[in-house]
Structure 1
Amino acid sequence: MINFPNSISHYKFIEPIGRGSTSEVLSAICLDNQNEISIKKIDMEKYPIELEFLRQEVSFWSSSAHPNVVGYYGSFVEGTVIYILMEYCSAGSIYDIMRYGFPRGFNDEFIIATILKGVLNALNYIHSNGQIHRDIKPGNILLCADGSVKIGDFGVAASLFQDGQRQRARYTVIGTPCYMAPEVLTEDHGYTEKADIWSLGITAIELATGEAPYSKLKPMEIMVKILKSPPSKLPTNAPYSAEFRNFVEKCLQSDPMNRATAEELLRHPFIAKAKSDSYISATLLTKIPPIGERLRTIEKQFSAFSMKEQTLPPQAEHPPSPMQWNFEGIEQPSHPHSEPTESITKGRFTITKQPSSGQSNLSEADKENQQLKQTVRQLQQKVESMECEMDQMKDQIRLLTQLVQNIMK
């Protein structure tokens, strides 16, 4: 097994590939062994988080050894920053890939079955070890260059074992709203690993259609829909196979007792359609450029978008944004600018470009164009600020839900 040093001076950062509400993820080269890995950075001074939460994230992950689970290489603290070293999945997340080239989902059921089989293999391993992932979604499903499927982000994973004894259920409301199972929201009897199966069913619908059910609603509206509406299904007016429809139905049973297990779903006729990793590589990854090139392409697209003086779409939609891994919370796109003229804030990152010598003689048209760009940037910052507020709102909703449930008991 390759050893990775516990000092950031032994690594050379290449480029950002993702960010969450409290962290950023970058690709990097280990200078000692020349292996390319990804590094998750969490600045505890800017984003105070409980070390117990991080210990929980790493404890099971560090002991995991499965081909469909993102590899964990170690972690260490320098100053106020925690660094988590992990496997580099160069093709990025399924969420990123869909946003770049497949906004309406994959029309190839073999691709969908192959992705879901990889996730099920990982879930079967996790569940058999008494763990729950609790945040299965396209943003946490990653692909490597060879087409292999990996699941990442164990930041909200939970154990069903305590003091050596298996517990019947968990009671904490946590996860991403669109993918939450009904029992996670009600907390009447707690929830088990079957909550991951529900999330997998929602993910299956998103892989086929391009969006999760209720994804355009506000968090509280989503929760009400999940609790009050019948389980979602694949659209009836689309030519999906009977096996695929049945697979989704097996996942999305309101009563978790009637929901299939990961082991059972691995034997489902739809999963029998799954191909090898090379099929994903040949039929899917060959249709999209590498993650770095995707990022540069989208930056150019956004530059052209700004030059044409277009206004921002509604909040539910976004102009082209960079492909990034998502490791926590609701997917939050950031909006790049390929030709900044001042300090530009993207989330909590700032990029500065010094003006060139010829900028003092700008024409009136150029000045107007710069003002328009600045207006667009300000609007973007407002959108990103609202997205951060949504993350905070999600935390408040969890607390309120728990409070209401405690009062009703």
Structure 2
Amino acid sequence: MDDLERLRGALPSYDVGEVLGRGAWGVVVAGRHRQLGRAVAIKVLPLGMTRDPGVRQRFEREAKTLASLDHPHVVRVYDYVEQDEVCALIMEQLTGGSLGDRMRLARLSPQTASALEVAALHGLEHAHQQGVLHRDIKPENIMFTRDGWLKITDFGIATVLGDQAERLTATGTVLGTPAYMAPEQLDESQPVTSASDVWASGAVYYEMLAGDAPYARRATLQATLLARLNEDPRPLRELDPDVPTEVAEAAMRAIARDPADRWTSAGEFAEELERRGSGLWGADWLCATGTPVARTERAASADATGALTSAAPATALPRAIPPAVPRRGSRRRWLVPAAAATAVVLIAGGVALLAKGDDEPAHAGSGGSEHGLAPAGWPDRLQIGVGLPADLTADIPSHFGKGVPAVIGFSGDPLTSDVWSAGGGQPAVTQVRQAEVGGVPPTGYAYIQRLVGQGAGNDADADGTLRILKDPRLMRAYWENIKLLLTQLGSLDEPIDLVVESSVASNIAAAYPDATQVRAVVGSSGVPDLDGLPDTFAGWTQAWVRLRDQLAPQVQLGMDVESWGYGDFLIPVRPTVQDIDGWVANFKRFYASLGTKYDFLDDTVSYGEAGAQDDPQEQMPTPKDFDRLLAWVQGISTAAGAGVVLDSVPTGNTVYRTVNNTPYHYQDGYVEWLLGDDDYAHLQAFRDAGLIGIVFGTAGDPAAETCPCDAADDGVTNPPGTGREADSSDDDGGYLQEQVRRYLDGGGMPL
């Protein structure tokens, strides 16, 4: 019987798969629990070693050690099995690779390296507070989940503090990896404490920053090890002068030869790195990297060597650090019935929403784009549209051409409304049909979740939204309302796009990188159609998809994405490319945790803050700003495998100098950049990155963003003497109108 057959016999509840890796203390095999469907990693002692009682004892100790740890940055242990000659440890499966893999692929920036170090240190702090040493911290023992959570693995050679008399050794050698072993691990006269793990983590941090280990390799292993007993490590900034001094000093203190000169604990090291990072990169620097971090409160006392003095310290619960900026208010309060408005965009998502010509009905012809990111039935051209107030809806065809759909804001508090309403007391389906009769295909925004139980004219902030999601009474009303909405939309003859709940997903992503960790009443709501769905925000998203499939299969669902939910606004913050990489990584984690797919993404470029800066020039995007926006679009499109619509794109321009940076007339350059060149080279780059539609402007808050209308009702949009009066459909002097008409008259850009 081969080893895998023995393993399968010992684990009848698991499907045993391929070997994932081999190490000094065992083989790691992929597995899946048959009933739970949970993917696991099975660490198995080589069968030839299991006859040694000492080896089995060490492996059993590893299981008990890991089982005693419960922290987001420590690998989870589900079970330990010992049967005949099989000793197996059942752990969570980590599919995101190791830190060593990342270090080999590319040099990490100081900001990213510091964020990863902070996460690892909080995991170590938790272990130390449980009286557990690791003793073998190295890049290969720091791994990642699919969603990007850092996990410390392989406590197989850890010892329990207070039990140092029994030093686990193998064939007479000290356990550990030479490049990351603290000096005291090489000297049996010195105690090994939590300070030794601080040294090892500092050595890993040093290598992330400098690209090499603290001690240069010598001719022999013995010489390499002896060097750290007698010599100080190489100054980090000698290897890389570009590493910030504050960061380099923190790393060098961690790898001081004398334990008394190091940080007193992993927790202190983490707190100091976080403080220094805030001074270097701003208060939200951790969030900007996209690295999720769960803090562990530091233990009350530690001695000068870093060893905990409390025999049984209390466990501090980890606090999640959101990999995003503090949450903000809604950009779409205008969808509340008391201030409801209808806008117009050209992001047709159903097969009937593309204008083919003056004499043809608005139907799509291709059934999807060549790049595969547009949903089935999406028009075969990149769609461009504008935002207009509701009273100008009838003017859409004359100003911008046929086939440009109207956005219907589906909003209302189901507990205070007699019927589900799109504003103005009309049922949603009524406004949709009126738009269709007027030759204006509709698309919609659902804005209900933040309104349930709030009463007319109010909506909940981010914390209030979380409270609503947990309230059984409010959520039952919400789901019944969504069923009514989708039933109405399902009765229409034409398809419609529906962007789901403005600001809700982004608010949650700003605080929780994993939607399965956010409580939401779904399966327990008492709505039979939702039975079996988890009571989490992931289940909330799955409920939308399930109800759509049952009641309105022709509806295309869009996820509302706002970049500040993953970092900040692209302009005027002007992040680095590394920042955007971090934002994309956070979006990818959050999107993957939803457990289902949206048909497209609707990304907010800016909103009310866009025109409210002290320095109006801060709102003038530069070519580098567009490069960053392009990177963001490509990143989220790739992460979700879906096309992206840019929403709330500012409409001011500098071609006609029709804006003067006063309310209603703010300055920006988006229209010129995207539509102003003859061959649309910039627009083509966005199309190739995954863009399938653009919405210029918003009717919701024209005073803050500019609006394609005479929003100020002042009759002009130019400074005195410029000679261009406001067009009734365009508050930038007509430039946007001209460019949209030129684009449409040219047949649009194929997807």
Task: Kindly indicate whether residue 309 of structure 2 is the aligned counterpart of residue 279 of structure 1.
Answer: no
Distance in 2 of aligned mates of 1:264 and 1:113: 14
Deviation of 1:179 after TM superposition, in Å, equals 0.9
Contact residue 134 and residue 195 of structure 1 kept, 8 A: yes
Deviation of 1:193 after TM superposition, in Å, equals 1.0
Equivalent residue runs for 1:98-137 within 5 Å? 98-99=103-104, 101-102=105-106, 105-106=107-108, 108-137=109-138
Q: What secondary structure does 2:290 align onto?
A: helix
Over residues 23-69 of structure 1, what are the superposed CA-to-partner deviations in whole Å (9 max), with x where a residue is unaligned? 22122221111111111121232575522211221222112111111
Structure 1's 29 and 169: CA in aligned 2 closer, same or farther, altered over 3 A? closer
Partner of 1:179: 180
The worse-fitting range, judged by mean Cα deviation, of 210-219 and 240-249 is: 210-219
Equivalent residue runs for 1:46-195 within 5 Å? 49=52, 50-99=55-104, 101-102=105-106, 105-106=107-108, 108-162=109-163, 173-195=174-196
Q: What secondary structure does 1:147 align onto?
A: coil
**TM-score of the pair, normalised by structure 2:** 0.34
Distance in 2 of aligned mates of 1:206 and 1:285: 24
Distance in 2 of aligned mates of 1:169 and 1:235: 39
Distance in 2 of aligned mates of 1:91 and 1:9: 27
Structure 1's 272 and 213: CA in aligned 2 closer, same or farther, altered over 3 A? closer
Contact residue 90 and residue 145 of structure 1 kept, 8 A: yes
Report the residue type matching 1:262 in the other structure.
A
Structure with bigger helix share is 1
Structure 2 gap segments, 5+ residues each: 1-7, 278-284, 293-579, 586-751
Deviation of 1:121 after TM superposition, in Å, equals 0.5
Distance in 2 of aligned mates of 1:9 and 1:148: 30
Contact residue 38 and residue 86 of structure 1 kept, 8 A: yes
Deviation of 1:6 after TM superposition, in Å, equals 9.7
Partner of 1:230: 232
Structure 1's 45 and 203: CA in aligned 2 closer, same or farther, altered over 3 A? same
Over residues 124-145 of structure 1, what are the superposed CA-to-partner deviations in whole Å (9 max), with x where a residue is unaligned? 1111222211011111001112
Structure 1's 269 and 40: CA in aligned 2 closer, same or farther, altered over 3 A? closer
Structure 1's 91 and 284: CA in aligned 2 closer, same or farther, altered over 3 A? farther
Q: What secondary structure does 2:28 align onto?
A: strand
Report the residue type matching 2:272 in the other structure.
H
Contact residue 113 and residue 271 of structure 1 kept, 8 A: no
Distance in 2 of aligned mates of 1:6 and 1:195: 40
Distance in 2 of aligned mates of 1:70 and 1:244: 27
Over residues 124-179 of structure 1, what are the superposed CA-to-partner deviations in whole Å (9 max), with x where a residue is unaligned? 111122221101111100111222111010111011134xxxx7997973211111
Distance in 1 of aligned mates of 2:245 and 2:228: 24
Q: What secondary structure does 1:175 align onto?
A: coil
Q: What secondary structure does 1:9 align onto?
A: coil
Q: What secondary structure does 1:82 align onto?
A: strand
Partner of 1:309: none
Report the residue type matching 1:230 in the other structure.
D
Deviation of 1:215 after TM superposition, in Å, equals 6.8
Q: What secondary structure does 1:132 align onto?
A: coil
Report the aligned-residue RMSD.
3.1
Distance in 1 of aligned mates of 2:23 and 2:178: 16
Equivalent residue runs for 1:265-344 within 5 Å? 265-270=269-274, 273=277, 275-276=286-287, 279-280=290-291, 283=581
Contact residue 116 and residue 150 of structure 2 kept, 8 A: yes
Report the residue type matching 2:103 in the other structure.
M
Structure 1's 277 and 241: CA in aligned 2 closer, same or farther, altered over 3 A? closer
Q: What secondary structure does 1:119 align onto?
A: helix
Partner of 1:10: 13
- Which has the larger Rg? 2
Structure 1's 38 and 168: CA in aligned 2 closer, same or farther, altered over 3 A? closer
Percent of aligned pairs with the same residue? 28
Contact residue 117 and residue 271 of structure 1 kept, 8 A: no
Over residues 317-358 of structure 1, what are the superposed CA-to-partner deviations in whole Å (9 max), with x where a residue is unaligned? xxxxxxxxxxxxxxxxxxxxxxxxxxxxxxxxxxxxxxxxxx
Deviation of 1:87 after TM superposition, in Å, equals 1.0
Distance in 2 of aligned mates of 1:18 and 1:271: 37
Distance in 2 of aligned mates of 1:209 and 1:125: 27
**TM-score of the pair, normalised by structure 1:** 0.61
The worse-fitting range, judged by mean Cα deviation, of 181-190 and 252-261 is: 181-190
Partner of 1:246: 249
Deviation of 1:15 after TM superposition, in Å, equals 3.2
Structure 1's 78 and 196: CA in aligned 2 closer, same or farther, altered over 3 A? same
Partner of 1:219: 221
Distance in 1 of aligned mates of 2:582 and 2:20: 20
Q: What secondary structure does 1:77 align onto?
A: strand
Over residues 356-398 of structure 1, what are the superposed CA-to-partner deviations in whole Å (9 max), with x where a residue is unaligned? xxxxxxxxxxxxxxxxxxxxxxxxxxxxxxxxxxxxxxxxxxx
The worse-fitting range, judged by mean Cα deviation, of 130-139 and 18-27 is: 18-27
Distance in 2 of aligned mates of 1:205 and 1:45: 38
Deviation of 1:219 after TM superposition, in Å, equals 2.5
Deviation of 1:277 after TM superposition, in Å, equals 9.5
Deviation of 1:271 after TM superposition, in Å, equals 6.0
Structure 1's 286 and 79: CA in aligned 2 closer, same or farther, altered over 3 A? farther
Distance in 2 of aligned mates of 1:128 and 1:262: 10
Distance in 2 of aligned mates of 1:234 and 1:169: 36
